Structure 1
């Protein structure tokens, strides 16, 4: 009996090696795992940030996505009058506002976790015009592209890899972070802040809470798209700003679109992503460049060649990726949305085809990669208004990641929240408003682990979970050291039995730990994967029933 079988303490009917098949051609072999949780990574003490980062490293997270909130860094954000300062200079901002980001970037580098910054709303009031309607969102209302570009340039300069600053107070030392041979004290003087090399530009510009107006009224009372033109200007400014601050070769993502919009048109009524995308690229439903009155309505050029549009908006065509948030809060991952202009995880082809058609309309090469930078499922408990259970969340996370992995254009897959949000305590306890925050975390608010925690750490999915001589199996040894061959053990428990049997050892050399193979499952029962971590502790995937 092998060391594996002894450590796992199971009845070993077989411990033969089952090598994972090479990654299929129609699959992403290097898809990153991204996680976002601003509360746990930005708005807590440095010690708590360190604890969260250490656990995310343990879970195998490659990169953390962080909102860099314009209105929280800018001086006098609630004033309608712009203060006099050089907005492109990081030193012109209040010194303390950078600390939370400096702490995260410095500690993440020590722990080997990459950073993804997203400058976004809320905007300072002085960068937005006065509202012209009674109800609206001042902090997202038609923000100035020029002012946003200057802010992005300041962020880019500070996190270019060469900007000097003192280590924030109370930041744990490398030794306290558990870094082997790490220093027991932080430098006393200024040192370079680590470089950030991946960027998103503005969160969900097709959602009214993040950018307004979404729609505007023209002569005759017709509603036309407004947010795409605003976002186009923001992209132009941010793209230029990042290049000026030394990030021209970085991964700069555009889009960050939400999966679907509202069923009506209005000032803050969210817009479907394909509707937004067509207006952003100034093409009609036939994906031909707009002209005449329709072009004018969308702030698109009414004359001039296609080359001129490409040259004027380089971010639209030169960006290395398009980011999308393919949530579906009402259905399992494989269910298609009926609305042809919406796009959840099962409808990524719609986004891809729309992007390709827009690129071809301007004579550009199609095939821009997708980055799914935000996704997840909320649970009941804790939220009584959510339809999905804890077990369903765990299964859906594995199914969703498998679906994303199968798409070769997907370069990153994002989990939204590590820990559930706190309820809205301004609302009546137990009401829908009270539960209007997100409960998609891997942990409950009190720190208790959800089943999704283990499903996230060691994903397992059987596309067709019926027993037979050749059953497809997909998994991800996410937490393993990907610099060497990694092994997991496939275990089977026949229906009616309490004993697990070893069906074989699984191996992978994939850089992200993915493995895909076919295994023989002799009868109905259950399967799981065991993995021996570096500390000698055996960890398991979720259990998958086999019929």
Structure 2
């Protein structure tokens, strides 16, 4: 296993729930009807953003593949509405040898750096009209802290914030849009506008220690303070080169364990990162407030509507547990700079059967794509990245794409391109939401036998979002259509 790729071990670690969760609770919750839907809103006052950008974070197919295959899959991503690709930047692979000085470390021309693979990945992504998010992670040995215990996962122990900052400076300068392309003489490398410091810093497989012993023997959070220094170093160095760039805080994993045991719950991590304590969010001393432009979370879950059983966990419908903390931090100047903090989701998925016999049916996977996009959107999320575009041929990872390994599309690919939900809201009223592939007037159609009959027309935003509540009846099968593009049908019964 390497930290730069999505291994079976790391994926399973993210999805583990607290051991005390009874199976009976899971089975009961899966049968509960959907909760109340937000009140009706005019087009000018949507209950969510006016746009929803989607993308992929597939480090196997869109990053590590050889150039021709990567191009094929980037074209497919583009064809189903992806506008973002998340690329994991493996610091250890680019800088296995320490640059001679800090000044040289901030210089992308330093011979200690090998950028060839990353250059090609970014150029291919941009050529397919994808915005690129670069997630800096996986430090080289020379950038790690000393005296790591044998229990620490290699490559995670107290990474140097100053060294990471210098590396971020080099990355931001190389992909500023002005750095000479070493292959295409006379041209510049593409500009990247989105940067992220680390991945899932509340997991010990990415950052350690998570906890340390206090003076009186109790466990104290350690990773938030370590990460705060890392994030601030990345922020300062990226902004020094590209003041207009967007710097994201790392996406947190959804669940945790009791203090001192492995994972830190995301609510605990965010509180500590933002110098707040306890459920009351008491203000703690905060001499070096954290800096970021947008926040991120990875809400892996059983379904898009089941809440995390642990109050400090954060599943799909629980994002308010994090945004509440961020709002208090904003009011008390514990997060800088001032201004809105958009919410991104850079990892989410569900596996399908086939090919994974233990996973959910293909139709359910497609339904979860649309439902998750809606649930996240109505909580204010502006960007959602499905993890894998294509099934990966490994045990327990072979069903998570929206395409089969063969290249055939699953129903979830259509749901990704044109997500649509029709949720009962009581008294024969249906909440309609979707994101059309283009702006225009969407027809809401009801299936009648083998035909579809238009029952409503909804104007979209410039980014294709539409939302309304209509009295249409019950036990319907509805779909949305714009021109030649149609969503999958959605049963309200």
1:341 aligns with 2:341: no
TM-score between both structures, scaled by the size of structure 1: 0.76
Deviation of 1:359 (Å):
2.9
Aligned counterpart, 1:217: 213
- Residues 226 and 397 (structure 1 numbering): CA distance in 2 closer, same or farther, change over 3 Å? same
Asked whether the 8 Å contact 1:90–1:157 carries over to 2, the reply is yes
Deviation of 1:262 (Å):
2.5
Asked whether the 8 Å contact 1:487–1:505 carries over to 2, the reply is no
User: Deviations 1:15-52 (Å, cap 9, x if unpaired)?
Assistant: xxxxx961534221123213211212221122222212
Asked whether the 8 Å contact 1:131–1:138 carries over to 2, the reply is no
The RMSD of aligned alpha carbons is 2.6
Distance 2:112 2:80 in 1: 35
Aligned counterpart, 2:464: 513
Name the SS for the 2:65 alignment partner: coil
Out of 381, 391, 400, the residue aligned to residue 440 of structure 1 is: 400
Distance 1:439 1:210 in 2: 24
Distance 2:478 2:378 in 1: 22
Deviation of 1:132 (Å):
3.5
Deviation of 1:354 (Å):
1.2
Distance 1:158 1:132 in 2: 32
Q: Which has the larger Rg?
A: 1
Aligned counterpart, 1:426: none
- Residues 445 and 131 (structure 1 numbering): CA distance in 2 closer, same or farther, change over 3 Å? farther
Deviation of 1:228 (Å):
0.6
Distance 1:325 1:376 in 2: 10
User: Deviations 1:339-393 (Å, cap 9, x if unpaired)?
Assistant: 111111211111111112233344776853311222122233333444x332221
1:88 aligns with 2:106: yes
Asked whether the 8 Å contact 2:228–2:290 carries over to 1, the reply is no
Aligned counterpart, 2:365: 393
Out of 459, 466, 489, the residue aligned to residue 419 of structure 2 is: 459
Distance 1:124 1:98 in 2: 15
1:3-18 maps to which residues of 2 (within 5 A)?
Answer: none
Name the SS for the 1:463 alignment partner: strand
Aligned counterpart, 1:471: 430
Tell which has more relative contact order, 1 or 2 (C-alpha 8 A, sep 6+). Answer: 1
Distance 1:509 1:274 in 2: 35
Out of 273, 277, 296, the residue aligned to residue 270 of structure 2 is: 277
1:75 aligns with 2:84: no
1:164 aligns with 2:164: no
Distance 1:452 1:363 in 2: 40
Name the SS for the 2:158 alignment partner: coil
1:256-335 maps to which residues of 2 (within 5 A)?
Answer: 256-263=251-258, 265-266=260-261, 269-285=262-278, 286-290=280-284, 309=287, 312-313=288-289, 315=291, 319-328=292-301, 331-335=302-306
- Residues 211 and 93 (structure 1 numbering): CA distance in 2 closer, same or farther, change over 3 Å? farther
Distance 1:281 1:542 in 2: 42
Deviation of 1:524 (Å):
3.8
Out of 33, 36, 52, the residue aligned to residue 31 of structure 1 is: 52
Aligned counterpart, 2:324: 353
Aligned counterpart, 2:22: none
Asked whether the 8 Å contact 2:252–2:266 carries over to 1, the reply is yes
User: Deviations 1:118-153 (Å, cap 9, x if unpaired)?
Assistant: 111x21111113454222212111111111111111
1:41-60 maps to which residues of 2 (within 5 A)?
Answer: 41-60=62-81
User: Deviations 1:282-313 (Å, cap 9, x if unpaired)?
Assistant: 2221323336xxxxxxxxxxxxxx6xx2xx33
- Residues 240 and 419 (structure 1 numbering): CA distance in 2 closer, same or farther, change over 3 Å? same
Deviation of 1:438 (Å):
6.8
Asked whether the 8 Å contact 1:128–1:138 carries over to 2, the reply is no
Deviation of 1:115 (Å):
1.2
Asked whether the 8 Å contact 1:491–1:500 carries over to 2, the reply is no
Name the SS for the 1:165 alignment partner: coil
User: Deviations 1:242-286 (Å, cap 9, x if unpaired)?
Assistant: 122x222211111421111124523xx111111111211222213
Distance 1:522 1:229 in 2: 53
Out of 163, 179, 187, the residue aligned to residue 191 of structure 1 is: 187
- Residues 203 and 93 (structure 1 numbering): CA distance in 2 closer, same or farther, change over 3 Å? farther
Distance 2:339 2:168 in 1: 28
- Residues 539 and 211 (structure 1 numbering): CA distance in 2 closer, same or farther, change over 3 Å? same
Distance 1:326 1:450 in 2: 22
Distance 1:23 1:345 in 2: 25
Out of 107, 110, 120, the residue aligned to residue 103 of structure 1 is: 120
Distance 1:256 1:523 in 2: 39
Aligned counterpart, 1:369: 342
For structure 1, which runs of at least 5 residues remain unmatched after alignment? 1-19, 77-81, 168-186, 292-305, 424-433, 533-537
- Residues 264 and 443 (structure 1 numbering): CA distance in 2 closer, same or farther, change over 3 Å? farther
Asked whether the 8 Å contact 1:459–1:476 carries over to 2, the reply is yes
Higher mean C-alpha displacement, 98-107 vs 228-237: 98-107
Distance 2:273 2:416 in 1: 35
Asked whether the 8 Å contact 1:278–1:287 carries over to 2, the reply is yes
For structure 2, which runs of at least 5 residues remain unmatched after alignment? 1-40
Distance 1:213 1:438 in 2: 32
- Residues 104 and 522 (structure 1 numbering): CA distance in 2 closer, same or farther, change over 3 Å? same
User: Deviations 1:147-175 (Å, cap 9, x if unpaired)?
Assistant: 111111111110011000134xxxxxxxx
Asked whether the 8 Å contact 1:75–1:83 carries over to 2, the reply is no
- Residues 418 and 131 (structure 1 numbering): CA distance in 2 closer, same or farther, change over 3 Å? farther
Distance 1:520 1:109 in 2: 44
1:500 aligns with 2:460: no
How many positions carry a matched residue from both structures? 448
Out of 121, 126, 142, the residue aligned to residue 126 of structure 1 is: 142
